[in-house]
Amino acid sequence: MTTQNRTSLLAADQKMIDGVQKNLSGQASFTVGSQKLTPADIVKVFQDRLSTAKAADAAEAARTAAVKANRDKRAQTAPVVRALKRIVEGMFMQSPEVLAEFGLTAPKAGKATVAVKATAAIKNKATRVARSTRGSKQRKLITGTVVPGASTGPAPEAPAHAATPAAPATATTPLTPAAAKAGG
């Protein structure tokens, strides 16, 4: 029953009580169904119905409050419970029988779906392009040329009295493997 129906039933029962007290109180007794009842007995029947309906409403309200309190408490304590489960799983991951005593099972490694793997490959390639990272074979293909007069050792100190700056180095293009073999 919905609340509106329950409310209308309670109102109907109360009206029956009011009607019996107003219009049937002068009767000594009469037969209702197969029972002989006085007006007071009829009023008691309806009052019993009202009291049980009100008790049911109170019980439902108490149940609703208890369910809400349970949900609130579970939401409030969920982080603690999750953390404890992780700790217990970490401590006893190699002992399934001990985990079973806690009502837990060892976590399973998740399987990556094809879509996840494809997305990861695309992101990996994009990252390598963005960072200009290369594999070992691509790095071997990159070579440079030696500028005449440059040494591999530390640069000599410039004299303190030098007024003219050194000429800028000319840019050279790296040799490709084919050009390096040709000697040029």
pLDDT, one tens digit per residue, over 62-109 is 999 999 999 999 999 999 999 999 999 999 999 999 999 999 998 888
Does residue 131 or residue 49 have the better pLDDT?
49
* pLDDT interval class at 158 (50, 70, 90): low
Say if 18 falls within a structural domain: yes
Say if 132 falls within a structural domain: no
Containing structural domain, residue 60: 3-73
Say if 56 falls within a structural domain: yes
Domain count, the chain: 1
Cα 125 to Cα 103: distance, rounded to the nearest angstrom? 43
Say if 23 falls within a structural domain: yes
Say if 8 falls within a structural domain: yes
Say if 19 falls within a structural domain: yes
Average pLDDT over residues 120-147: 81
Q: What tokens were used for 2?
A: 């919905």
* 61: pLDDT strictly greater than 70: yes
Say if 108 falls within a structural domain: no
* pLDDT interval class at 136 (50, 70, 90): confident
* pLDDT interval class at 1 (50, 70, 90): very low
- The whole model's pTM is what? 0.46
Cα 76 to Cα 10: distance, rounded to the nearest angstrom? 39
Cα 165 to Cα 161: distance, rounded to the nearest angstrom? 11
Average pLDDT over residues 144-170: 58
* Helix axes 39-91 and 3-19, enclosed angle (nearest 10): 160
* pLDDT interval class at 184 (50, 70, 90): very low
Say if 39 falls within a structural domain: yes
